[in-house]
Amino acid sequence: MLRRASLAVLATLVVASGCQALPVARSMFHLADSPIRTGRAPAPGDMCLAGLYPPFRVFGDAWARPTVWGVRTDTGERVGVIWPHGTRAAFLPALVLWDDAGRVIAREGDVIADAGGGGGPPGTIQICSFGRDY
Amino acid sequence: MSAGHCSKNAGPDYTLDNGTFIGTHGSDIWGDADVDALSIRISNPSSDNLLYVSEFYSNRAMVTQRHDSAQTQGSVACRSARSGYTCGTIGSVNMNIGTDNGTLHHQWIADFGSSPGNSGGAVFVNATWMGIVSTGNSTDTGYSTVDRVEDAMNVSVCLTGSC
């Protein structure tokens, strides 16, 4: 009887442990790169299309595909976002995004109003750079 | 005129910064292309021949255009766009530029930087129009020249009022 109870407790622990292992999104993961810049990040000498995307709010769901998306603040439209090469994300538990230098780009719900570029498929925001005035 | 890729997230209507409606989308060329340009069908005649001048939040009349042959390395070019007005010199001419959306051909490169939102801005000197801002980084700005835009879009720029 005691042995059966021990097995039950052990089985419960294994199941609980398995469930605990499922939310892996606390680990930092890379987001999809621009398909044009496969394998390399925009370097200082690279040229970006100098367009400015409409402001959008960042959302994420570790279980959704895509994991991270935007919602335009002007139209409310949900849009796919292709991030610059090297962009990373994690759910802590809310979404946080970092650039390739480790700087925080945005957190869940933040508005990104300085995304630059202009390429990518229709309806998507393909970011080449984040805005600075020169 | 504006930059072709500006059409990607834009609606059919185009306005000045102050909200004044000027016209609707005509046609555009961009991507792997000879130019990055967009034409606007002007509905508001008061917008004819005007160039957006950011430092005064107003517009300026253009009276001539500068042909490619006169846009030589080392000559002066100015830019007026979202991030402001600045001048410099042309560093390279007729270049193929790799961008985040493929290769853009026949780009002239000036030695001042550009930032997001500068696309579609004018490159000019005084009242002479030279081109349309397409690309940029912290040190350089790429633009499509008026000659190339005319060729690629099969249009003639009319700045005199008599054409």
Residue-averaged pLDDT of chain B: 86
Digit-coded pLDDT (tens) for B15-67? 876 778 888 999 999 888 999 999 888 887 777 767 766 655 566 778 889 99
User: Within 13 Å and on the Cβ side, how many CA atoms surround B55?
Assistant: 8
Quote the ipTM score. Answer: 0.85
Enclosing H/E stretch for A11: helix A2-21
The interface residues of chain B toward chain A in range 66-105, judged by CB-CB distance below 8 A, are 81-84, 97-102
Identity of the residue in B31, B100, B139 whose CB atom sits nearest the CB atom of A126 = B100
Digit-coded pLDDT (tens) for A34-68? 433 333 344 445 688 899 999 999 999 988 888 89
Total structural domains within chain B? 1
CATH number of B150's domain: 2.40.10.10
How many angstroms separate the CA of residue A123 from the nearest CA in chain B?
Answer: 7
Longest dimension (CA), chain B: 40
Query: Which domain does B5 fall in, by range?
Result: 1-163
Percent of chain A with pLDDT over 70: 64
- pLDDT interval class at B93 (50, 70, 90): very high
Residue A16's beta-bridge partner residues? none
Q: In this predicted model, which residue has the larger pLDDT, A26 or B106?
A: B106
The whole-number average pLDDT for the span A99-121 is: 89
Any idea where the domains of chain A sit in the sequence? 25-130
| A27: pLDDT strictly greater than 90 | no
d(CA B110, CA A64): 44
| A24: pLDDT strictly greater than 50 | no
How many angstroms separate the CA of residue B91 from the nearest CA in chain A?
Answer: 14
The whole-number average pLDDT for the span B108-125 is: 92
